[in-house]
Homo-oligomer: A and B are copies of this chain.
Amino acid sequence: MSAAAGTKQRSPRAKNAKDRARVLLAQTGLPQNIGFVLRFAQAAVWSDLVKALQPFNVRPVHYSVLLILTAAPGARQQEIGEALSIQRPNLVALIDELEERGILLRQPHPEDRRSHALCLTDEGVALLAKLKRVQQAHERRLNALFSGEERRALLDGLARLARLTPDTAI
């Protein structure tokens, strides 16, 4: 899983190929492009979190939905979609799946007949407690790469980039 372990296992031949790849990539100038490096960073970080959540048969988006329902029990589907920038059809499928698995419940919304209030079940609450530990360990792996000041600057920079899209809630 860790970069150090991967490096140790690599054969001299594979290492040479990687060194050549690094030189070739540097010649293109791509490692100086924010967009390009951002994509590689995202792929590496995502892969780390996806692997960590796999034993629980959930993806990062499930975790985010569960967190929202803890912060705002009874939230409407639409509110979750707005907060997480998830398109309606994808969110409906996701909520269906979590309901079938007994993780959340759709209940009548007290103020809005056309909507449902979504709530975690006891099972959902127990699952979220486990996922939180996994996610926190993942975040610690990322934080270990930065000082506190570097981390704050990185989060700020990423939020500025996220706001290139007008509909982000970050």
Q: Which residues of A contact B (CB under 8 A)?
A: 3, 5-7, 10, 17-18, 20-22, 24-25, 27-49, 60, 64, 67-68, 70-72, 75, 78-79, 82-85, 135, 138-139, 141-143, 145-146, 150-151, 153-155, 157-170
Could you tell me the dominant secondary structure of chain A's interface residues? helix
Contacts of A28 in B (CB 8 A): 64, 67-68, 70-71, 83
Q: A162-B37, A170-B25 are in contact. Are A42 and B44 (CB under 8 A)?
A: no
In the complex the two chains form, is A34's CB within 8 Å of B154's CB?
A: yes
| Cβ A163 vs Cβ B35 within 8 A | no
Assess the B35–A142 pair: CB atoms within 8 A: yes
